[in-house]
Amino acid sequence: MQLRPREKNMKIISARLYTLLLTLIAALFIPFSTAQESRLDADGNIREDAYIRIPLNEENQRYADIDGSRMKQLVQEVVDISLANRDDRTHYWGRIAGTRGEEMAREYVEAKFREFGLNDIHAQEFDLPTQWFPESYEITVDAGGETYQFDSMVPALRSSATDGMLSMNAVWVGTGSAADFAGRDLNGKAVFIHSIPAPGSMGHSAGSSWEGAIQRAQERGARAIFVIYGISDNFTIWQGLGRNINTPGAFLGYEDGNVIKELFGKGLDVRVNMEVNIDYRNELKTASIFGTLPGTSDEEIYVLAHLDGYFEAALDNASGISVMLTLAEHFAAIPQSQRRRNIIFVGTAGHHVGSPGSRWMHDNRETALEDAVLMINCEHVSVKQTVYWGPEMRMTDIPSPRRWWVNGSNQLIDLVLDSYQEFGVSVWDHMEDRAAGEMGSVALDLPSVQIIRSPEIKHTHMDIPEWVPEVGLESVARAFARIIDQANKLDRSELRPM
């Protein structure tokens, strides 16, 4: 049959519409599928380059060189130092203060200072007091004719040694409230406490500021105290039992703790055998490393990041070291004639054993900080927000909001918060009443700024680079760079608290 011209045209239009429809469908589904695949890694997790980022406006293009992926590489380089000092026998490893691991971190930072062209690079050495190291330990649990050992169980940090091998009956006291202890005979026994971390924090319920269960166990005559840490996973953690606790003890993870809880739940007699030998080392030394970018005046801005850490210590404090080094590289690329003030970068020593580096600054503030107008502390700056899904802690694709501190004028507070807002640095809605962390001893001696986050993974074997989002590193470094730039527009008197 021969088509008339009008019918032929309609057939052509229909065919074209059909082709267009298929093209639209392909455009909707094929690229979407491809995009989905490109934004997931091999394990099905969202790739970091797909995380939410705030685009730089024209004014902030000056900070485009501060790149999160490059900063994440710096984190990994610092973590590699920890891995080179790994000790699977005692699990006490990382960039431990006074050891080769911390020394290697200092050498790494010094090499970066030289690479960036900083001046007056020098180390400042400190004598450490007697240091605690677990020499050896053996802890087993006997029940129902079986003997159990647990990979996550380690002596509590700076806890007492045992006098030989202890063999004790064990008691389960739940979360260790006064109700849990009521009517229980704990004298001479091993006491197991399940401690719940505060959401998003390494602070936990058995501590003195919450339930006080550890202190309560000691007062009731416990011979050893065991703290099951967490409501998910199986963290190995280096954490102390608390001040004034001289009873030997240990921490272990949630999954291993559940095994012990089930033994009690079956009504079995549970016994613990425990021997812990401590090596107390004298005459150890540590050192801070300094490097200066000269400006055009005698006034100084200090940027700090502590060097030491437990396990891989990606958050605590490879993240802070990465921010400090990135700021050094960024400002080193700016001509000296455009830098109003000297910027002194300091990799500080021995944070986890008393912070002798920052305490020295405080003790010598009349001379060491005579020309200092501002201090910024880079510590635990970027970690993924956590959520619990059953007995598993999950990562999200956003950095966790940080605690924050500013000691200074309203102008300084405003420019700090403006900078956080500018780059999407999330913080708590109320400023802390004191500066925690490395800067705590010196924070009131001059105008000072910091953000800090101490989540469940801090001091655990899971403080690994996967928990440190590059977008958080990038946004914090850009915000700190802007704070320095904006502070340089203000005179010293305008930065000081009223």
- DSSP assignment of 415-445, as one string? HHHHHHHHHT--B-SS--SS--GGGTTTGGG
- H or E element at residue 301: strand 300-306
DSSP bridge pairs for 309: 95
Q: For residue 30, what are the CA distances in angstroms to 26, 34, 35, 178, 219?
A: 5, 6, 9, 61, 67
Using alpha carbons only, give the angle 66, 318, 48 rounded to the nearest 5 degrees.
Answer: 55
Q: How far apart are CA 439 and CA 376, in angstroms?
A: 9
Instruction: Locate 325 and state its tokens.
Output: 């080094």
pLDDT per residue, tens digit, the chain (498 aa), is 444 433 434 333 343 433 334 334 444 443 434 444 578 888 888 898 889 888 999 999 999 999 999 999 999 999 999 999 999 899 999 999 999 999 999 999 999 999 999 999 999 999 999 999 999 999 999 999 999 999 999 999 999 999 999 999 999 999 999 999 999 999 999 999 999 987 767 778 888 878 899 999 999 999 999 999 998 999 999 999 998 999 999 999 999 999 999 999 999 999 999 999 999 999 999 999 999 999 999 999 999 999 999 999 999 999 999 999 999 999 999 999 999 999 999 999 999 999 999 999 999 999 999 999 999 999 999 999 988 888 888 999 999 999 999 999 999 999 999 999 999 999 999 999 999 999 999 999 999 999 999 999 999 999 999 999 999 999 999 999 999 999 999 999 999 998
Q: How far apart are CA 290 and CA 348, in angstroms?
A: 8
SS3 assignment, position 146: strand
319 within 8 A of 475, measured Cβ to Cβ: no
Query: Three-state SS across 86-122?
Result: CCCCCCCCEECCCCHHHHHHHHHHHHHHHHHCCEEEE
326 within 8 A of 470, measured Cβ to Cβ: no
The pLDDT value given to residue 211 = 86
DSSP bridge pairs for 59: none
- 364 burial (CB, 10 Å; 0-12 / 13-18 / 19+) is exposed
Quickly tell me which residue has 């107390």 as its tokens: 280
| Closest to 478 in 3D by CA, of 438, 406, 429, 418 | 418
Instruction: Please state whether beta strands 119-127 and 285-293 pair in parallel, antiparallel, or not at all (unpaired).
Output: antiparallel
